[in-house]
Structure 1
C-alpha cells in the first residue's frame, strides 16, 4: 500500500514546502506538488497523474481538504474516482479518511464548507474592489499590451495574425485592441 502525498498552492507567489514537509513526516512517498488553482480540475497535471496511477489499497494524502479541491462536487468526484480504483483519501488536518462511512460524510461536509468559504472570499473581494473604485484607488490590472505598437503595425498593413505573431500575443488580443478592425477595415475607412 502506497501513501501518495499531494500538495497544492494557488499561485506562483505561494510556497507548498510546509505541506510537503508535513506529508513526508506522515510517511508519504511519492509526494506530488503543483502551483495551480483548486477551483477546477483542468490544468492540475500532478493530481491527474496521481489519479491515473493510483492502485487498489493506495491512499491519497493531503494536509487539508481545500488543498485537494475547492468545490463539493470536485471533492466528491475525486473521492468516487479513488473508491472506484479501491483507493482512499486521507486528510491530515483534521484527521479523516474515506476508508469508513463516517469519513465520507465528514469529507462531504468539509467540502461544502470549503466551497462556502471560497464564495465568501469572492464576495469580500468584489466588495473591496467596489469600495476601492469609489475612493478612486482601484485602477484595475495594469495593461500588458502595447496599443501603439499594434496600431503602428496595423497602419503598416499587417493583418491581425501577423501582428499577433510579431508581438507574441494572441490574435484575439489584437482584435480586442482594435475593436475588431483589420488593416483592410482601416484602409476602407481612411479611403
Structure 2
C-alpha cells in the first residue's frame, strides 16, 4: 500500500500541489497536516500516518522537508521505517529507500537540506545584526502613538470618563487601554 503524507506550515498555504503529486503517484491513502511546523516531531496527522503504516507499505512524501526539518530526525525516521519494513519515497528529490543507492541519496539530500536551512538562518541573523548596527529596529511598528498613550493616561488619572469613553475619545481598544494604563490609575 502506498501511504502519502502532505504538510503545510500555515493555514494560508495550499496543499493542492502536494496532493496532486501524491494522487498521481497512486497513493491509496493520504494524511494531511495544515498549520503544523516540520520542526515539531509530533503532528496529529503525521502521527496517524506513522501508526497506519504496515510492513510492505511505502510512505510517499512530496519533499523531504514535509516530514521533518532536521537531518537527525529524518535519519531516525528512515531507520524506524526500515526496521518496520516500510520504504520511504520522496517525489521531489526522486529518492526511494528501496535500494542502497536510494538510502545513500536520502542521507545526502537530508544533510544538504539542513545545511541550506542553516545558511538561510545565518544570513537572516547577519542581516538583522547589520540593520541594528545602522540603528534600525525590527518588529512591527507601534499602532498607538505617544500622544494617544499620554492622552489615555491623562484621562484615566482625571477619573471623569469611563474606560469605554476614554477608548473612543483616544481611538484605542480596551486591550490597549489596559496595557497602557496601570491598575493604580484606572478608574
Give the structure-2-normalised TM-score: 0.71
Distance in 1 separating the partners of 2:98 and 2:90: 11
Look up the SS of the partner of 1:123 in the other structure: helix
Larger displacement relative to structure 2 (17-26 or 131-140): 131-140
Look up the SS of the partner of 2:4 in the other structure: strand
Structure 2 counterpart of 1:6: 5
Distance in 1 separating the partners of 2:84 and 2:128: 44
Structure 1 counterpart of 2:52: 53
Structure 1 counterpart of 2:37: 37
Distance in 1 separating the partners of 2:75 and 2:181: 52
**Alpha-carbon distance, 1:137 to partner:** 4.7
Look up the SS of the partner of 1:33 in the other structure: strand
Structure 2 counterpart of 1:149: 178
Distance in 1 separating the partners of 2:131 and 2:28: 46
1:1-191 to 2 correspondence within 5 Å? 2-34=1-33, 35-42=35-42, 44-141=43-140, 146=175, 148-149=177-178, 154-155=183-184
Structure 1: gaps spanning 5 or more residues: 157-191
- Runs of 4+ aligned residues of structure 1 deviating over 3 Å after TM superposition are 131-139, 141-148, 150-156
Look up the SS of the partner of 1:78 in the other structure: helix
Larger displacement relative to structure 2 (4-13 or 60-69): 4-13
Distance in 2 separating the partners of 1:8 and 1:63: 9
Look up the SS of the partner of 2:113 in the other structure: helix
**Alpha-carbon distance, 1:16 to partner:** 2.1
Structure 2: gaps spanning 5 or more residues: 144-173
Decide whether the 8 Å contact of 1:3 with 1:30 is kept in 2.
yes
Work out the number of aligned pairs and report it.
Answer: 155
C-alpha RMSD of the superposition: 2.6
Distance in 1 separating the partners of 2:46 and 2:106: 18
**Alpha-carbon distance, 1:98 to partner:** 1.1
Decide whether the 8 Å contact of 1:51 with 1:81 is kept in 2.
no
**Alpha-carbon distance, 1:13 to partner:** 2.8
**Alpha-carbon distance, 1:127 to partner:** 2.1
**Alpha-carbon distance, 1:17 to partner:** 1.2
**Alpha-carbon distance, 1:59 to partner:** 0.7
**Alpha-carbon distance, 1:121 to partner:** 1.4
State the Cα deviation string for residues 67-94 of structure 1 (Å, max 9, x = none): 2222111101111221222111001123
